Amino acid sequence: MLRHAEPVMGTVFSVVVRDPGPGTAAALDRIVERLHRIDAVFSTYRPDSDISRLDRGELALADCDPDVPAVLAACREVATETDGWFTERPGGRLDPSGWVKGWAVEEAAALLRSSGARQYCVSGGGDVQTGGGPWRIGVADPGRPGLLTAVLAGHGLAVATSGTAERGAHVLDPHTGRPALGFASLTLVGAPGTGIARTDAWATAAFAMGPDRALAWVARRPGVEALAVLPDGSKRWTPGLPGHLPAAGPADWRSAVR
């Protein structure tokens, strides 16, 4: 078993590999390098990042890192898929973080696969991508720090959670520019093959939609499920979500990933 935690992007990215091989250590070095490079290019907190300079008009898109136009194109695709509930310009400022964080997890998972790993879990900032399995993924309770509101189980999971517990009301309604306040947290489980980048972006868009619109929208997407925790602590979910819940009782919910 190999475990690594890397502070980057204002959070901690964790890597767990159950079947490390000869190439795993080198892959981990490439993952660390890749994550810090993504942060250097896309951080909205670093004035010298490509995204910050592009937003200020100091850098042309053609002169940015090649990942920048690809990421912005992906953001526009998600905006279309979500009827404008996702945007790379929340509040008017260029900020593709709603895609980038999940994409960074996806990039790390791809590097592990290229090294031969098949049993792995990569997580960062509420986004989790697993390979192989089964894996058990804890969903934090937004109202009770240190406790879990549910555990999701399965193979090849893509799980993304947006919420207010760590960063406050940071998800904006793209139509009004005001914070979205309908959820305490919203967790999406992606369909097989969707990937964590798109699952994360959909979770951000759905969070902005509010409970009724979001759950109806998710229910129309084949294989995608949602678990919502409302500000009063009550829960709502899509019909297929129980298929991702293990049969074990609440005592097992105290384990996050194992």
Q: pLDDT tens digits, residue range 72-113?
A: 999 999 999 999 999 999 989 999 999 999 999 999 999 999
User: What amino acid is encoded at 221 in this protein?
Assistant: R
Taking only Cα atoms into account, the Rg of the chain, rounded to an integer number of angstroms, comes to 18
> Do 224 and 202 touch, CB atoms closer than 8 A?
yes
pLDDT tens track for 44-81:
999 999 999 999 999 999 999 999 999 999 999 999 99
Annotated domain spans of the chain: 2-254
**56: number of Cβ within 10 Å:** 10
For 177-214, write each residue's pLDDT tens digit. Answer: 888 889 999 999 998 889 999 999 999 999 999 999 99
Which pLDDT does position 84 carry in this prediction?
96
d(CA 240, CA 219): 9
Supply the pTM of this predicted model.
0.92
Domain 2-254 bears CATH identifier 3.10.520.10: yes
